[in-house]
Structure 1
Amino acid sequence: MASSRRRPPVEAPIAALRDALARIDANGPVLVAFSGGLDSTVLLHAAADVLGAGEAGSEVESRRSLLAIHVDHGLQAPSADWARHCVGQSDTLGVDCRVVRLEGAPQRGESVESWAREARYAAFAGIAEEVGAAALLTAHHADDQIETFLLRLVRGAGLDGLVSIEPDTMRGGLRVLRPFLGLPRSALERWARSRGLAWIEDPSNRDERLLRNAVRRQLVPVLDRVLPALRQRLPQTLAALREERDRLRELDRRRLETVTEPSRSAPGRAAALSLCAWRRLPAASRAGVLRQWLALHGARMPSRARLAEMLRQLDAPAADGLEIRHDGFVLRRYRGQAMLLPAAERSCEGAASGFCLPLRWVGERRVEVPELAGVLTIERIGQVERVEPVGPVKPVGSPGRPGLAERWLQAPDLELRARSGGERLRMHPGGPHRSLKKLYQERGVPSWARRALPVLWAHGRPVWAAGIGCDADCIVSKGVRYALDWQPLRRSRPASAPERSQH
């Protein structure tokens, strides 16, 4: 006979967390962003209960491990005490806690809040990669959602901003889940008090000179009284906005495919924009397509003013001198294409003069050259039985490409140099030697890009040039061959990429 006793209702934070964890299908530990405040204290205790790391008798839902992360921003005097509190709370739950102390300060003109947020997520992403985490949990709740929506509304945000805080996103390769977005802060506080939990009260949260605090403490209580349905209706509105945002993003991605092409002047980079195709796009779609292109490169979304300036410059009839800096990149134009190049390459163009790196090659496949913001790759591609002495040498990496003979890489005077002028390569077996300047011009490589492209010297002569290939005299007819290539150094900024919603 079935028991007539009814099971006690599942507490709201526990139920919300279980729903979120059920969406994780990847293996690996779960990270909890743990500031020590009320919201994250509830999140950590609930996660410890659900994942079986809490008090004896708690229901074990998973064998997945849990790791708390406390980020000490160093912005307030008691921050070290807060870190110790978080470690102590974690210890009582049997949960490991990692404390990350941030260094640095906001850039000029950057808000402290924005800097702290980006630095926090960079720390989360670094630890997630280190431990192979499946997801990060944060404790944003319904009150945070209302505040964020109102703040973005009065700041004139577009569709991307008005969707506000998303419950399930990817941020720079890290999955971020926010299980409490459907719960008011009052529900979290009731749960915490029923458990006798202790948490940190940050005094800065009472400072109404900060706009978010003023909205929380003055405006939201009025809205709760005058528009009590707002809390129930806002999630529906935000879901509709997300659906429309996702539809437009997909349309922009498809349009982006019609206007991108391999970069002629910066090979190896993400796709360039064909300005001819760009001008055929509907004017209303260009801003969205440009955002997608920036995201393809891993750049943060620009301000509305910066985006408008980029659009104006791209639409200008002739502007090969264009140079707009944004988020560690430089937007440039050349011969009908727009390219987004790492600013490090621009800064090293002048430093390249006179650069010389002696090499002792012992089989490495990669040689990083930060002075030129690039990487020399050396790939063994087998043996060549015979090379037909017909036609020009093909670019590195194409099918059937004959490679550099090993003896050149083993030369005692092997060096990677910046161009000094006058270097020449033979591109046809038995053909004339031609200047690198002419060869780069033929390939559409602008003068500002050539300065950071190195030349490999061996046995007192140039044998290979980045963006051009090997001298025909240095190609083997038999034996082992090597394909050389030059690629930009990739930035590691996992936390700065735009968030992408999960469905």
Structure 2
Amino acid sequence: MTRSTASANPCEQALARWCDRCAPNMMKVAVAYSGGADSTALLLAAHQRWPAHVVALHVHHGLQAAGDDFERQARQFCAQHGIALQVQHVQAVHEPGQSPEDAARLARYAALARMAREVGADGVLLGQHADDQAETLLLALSRGAGLPGMASMPEHFERAGMRFGRPLLDVPASDLRAWLLAQGHAFVDDPSNTDTRFTRNRIRALLMPAWEACFPGFRPMLARSARHAAQAQRLLDELAALDLSHTGVPPQIVRLQSLSRDRQANALRHWLRTSAGVAAATAQLDELLDQIAACTTRGHRIHIKVGPGHVERIGACLGYTPAL
């Protein structure tokens, strides 16, 4: 692969900008490589930026017959381009009450983190692009999500003790595919991506073309909206931390009552998310705020279901009791 060929890769500039913002000191990089178009373009861009310091990580989920073809493509492509490859097979069987997609995602992240640690990588790059971010935002809006949902996918995060990054959230999928096809790079298409039983695929097949017809080039704009939402949420988290330093953790009810209702709601969301890993539904939070406002006597009881457990009054404070 010559420099002139690589320079046309639309991932390169996006990867450089992401590194400047999020990971200026990365030395050895792993790329989650499925064999699809997005991860292929990202892998080539990373290989160009860090020659001899990139490892491709391929996870075989064992969920569809095409998985063997994906692994075969990954091995052939990496051998052709001189890129080190690690492959791990996982059994992403979902538990009762868990969706197959969630089970596969959790197994994939665990496997990626494990392989990245084994090869000494500083982080794992993921190939989600502007179309994926737009779909995530539309899905969040359809569910009435707040700022955390509208922030969509973060461009960097930690999971299972490993740093992950998404440098392509501003790059449309069509740009990636056009470059790969023009350069003759092989990639595979996951047949499950066209299965309209899945909500995200229906958004991709029906809503995205309609948006494109009305607002050409809308994908980077929705990605920008997601970044604005993420910035606003970070500010709310900072305010919540300040307010919780006033109320104490767990929050004292009388000190919560000294805050405005909106600041109470923000502080409570932050407390529940950071201390218990749960999110209150809008109706649950409204009821909790009403109960806090009415709590003016020593015997007033608060007991409201949130997530799998309950928020309740424990003496002068609120507490969260997980389900048994």
Q: TM-score range by the shorter chain?
A: 0.7 to 0.9
Instruction: Check if 1:245 corresponds to 2:233.
Output: yes
Structure 1 counterpart of 2:279, one-letter code: P
Question: What's 2:97 paired with?
Answer: 109
Counterpart residue identity of residue 84, structure 1: R
Q: Is the 8 A contact 1:323 1:332 kept in 2?
A: yes
Any idea what SS the aligned residue of 2:242 has?
helix
Task: Indicate conservation of the 8 Å contact 1:160/1:245, yes or no.
Answer: yes
Do structure 1's residue 37 and structure 2's residue 40 form an aligned pair?
A: no
Q: Does the aligned pair in 1 maintain the 2:264–2:289 contact within 8 Å?
A: no
1:335 equivalent in structure 2? 315
**CA-CA distance at 1:188 after TM superposition:** 0.5
Change (3 A) 1:224 1:273: same
For residues 342-353 of structure 1, the aligned pairs below 5 Å read none
Change (3 A) 1:260 1:322: same
> 1:10 aligned to 7, 18, 22, which one?
7
1:256 aligns with 2:237: no
Distance (whole Å) between structure 2 residues aligned to residue 341 and residue 100 of structure 1: 38
User: Pairwise mapping of residues 391-402 of structure 1 onto structure 2 (< 5 A)?
Assistant: none
**Which of these residues, 134, 139, 151, is aligned with residue 163 of structure 1?**
151
Is structure 2 residue 211 aligned with structure 1 residue 223?
yes
2:156 matches 1:178:
no
* CA deviation string 1:319-347 (max 9, x = no partner): 889596857x876653333445777xx6x
AA paired with 2:17?
A: D
- Decide whether the 8 Å contact of 1:137 with 1:179 is kept in 2: yes
Structure 2's unaligned 5+ residue stretches are: none
**Change beyond 3 A, Cα 1:83–1:134:** same
Quote the Cα distance in structure 2 between the aligned partners of 1:135 and 1:221.
34
AA aligned opposite 2:206: Q
Q: CA deviation at 1:187?
A: 0.9
Deviation string, structure 1 residues 458-483 (Cα, Å, up to 9, x no partner): xxxxxxxxxxxxxxxxxxxxxxxxxx
Counterpart Cα distance in 2 of 1:221 and 1:169: 30
| In 2, Cα distance between equivalents of 1:341 and 1:131 | 40
Q: CA RMSD of the aligned region, Å?
A: 3.3
1:96 is aligned to 2:84: yes
State which of 3, 6, 17 in structure 2 corresponds to 1:19. Answer: 17
Q: Which residue of 2 aligns with 1:425?
A: none
Distance 1:326 1:161 in 2: 17
Partner of residue 72, structure 2: 84
Q: 2-side partners of 1:303 and 1:77: how far apart?
A: 39
TM-score by length of 2: 0.82
Deviates more, 1:142-151 or 1:19-28: 19-28
Paired positions, count: 315
Matched, 1:193 2:193: no
> Contact 2:6/2:48 (CA < 8 Å) preserved in 1?
no
Distance in 1 of aligned mates of 2:117 and 2:282: 34
- Cα deviation, 1:278-325, whole Å, max 9, x if unaligned, reads 33332222332223223433x544362695389369738558895968
Q: Which residue of 2 aligns with 1:435?
A: none
Identity of aligned residues (%): 33
Q: Output one character per residue of 1:367-412: Cα deviation in whole Å (capped at 9) or x when no partner.
A: xxxxxxxxxxxxxxxxxxxxxxxxxxxxxxxxxxxxxxxxxxxxxx
Q: Quick one: structure 1 residues 72 and 175, their matched pair in 2 at CA, closer, same or farther if it must change by over 3 Å?
A: same
Q: Distance in 2 between matches of 1:125 and 1:310?
A: 40
Give 3-state SS (helix, strand or coil) of 1:308's partner: helix
Q: Deviations over 1:171-221 (max 9, x none)?
A: 565433222222111110111112322222111111223222222122212
CA distance in 2, matches of 1:130, 1:307: 44
- The alpha-carbon distance between structure 1 residues 67 and 232, as it changes in their structure 2 partners (threshold 3 A), is closer
Q: Which of 229, 251, 260 matches 1:273?
A: 251
Structure 1 or 2: larger strand share? 1
* Bigger Rg, which one: 1
Q: How far 1:112 moved relative to its partner?
A: 2.3
Greater helix fraction, Structure 1 or Structure 2? 2
State yes or no: 1:308 paired with 2:285.
yes
2:45 is aligned with what amino acid?
Answer: A
Alpha-carbon distance in structure 1 between the residues aligned to 2:300 and 2:288: 12
**CA shift for structure 1 position 40:** 0.7
The answer on whether the counterparts of 2:130 and 2:220 sit within 8 Å (CA) in structure 1 is no
**Corresponding residue number in structure 1 for 2:62:** 74
Pick from 294, 300, 312 the counterpart of residue 272 of structure 2.
Answer: 294
Letter in 2 for 1:19: R
The offset of 1:222, in angstroms, is: 2.0
Structure-2 change in CA distance of 1:71 and 1:251 (3 Å): same
For 2:47 and 2:101, the matched residues in 1 are separated by 29
Tell me the secondary structure at the aligned position of residue 74 of structure 1: coil
Q: Distance in 1 between matches of 2:60 and 2:176?
A: 23
Q: Is the 8 A contact 1:34 1:86 kept in 2?
A: yes
2: distance between equivalents of 1:313 and 1:130? Answer: 51
Q: Is the 2:92–2:107 Cα contact (8 Å) retained in structure 1?
A: no
Letter in structure 2 aligned against 1:274? Q
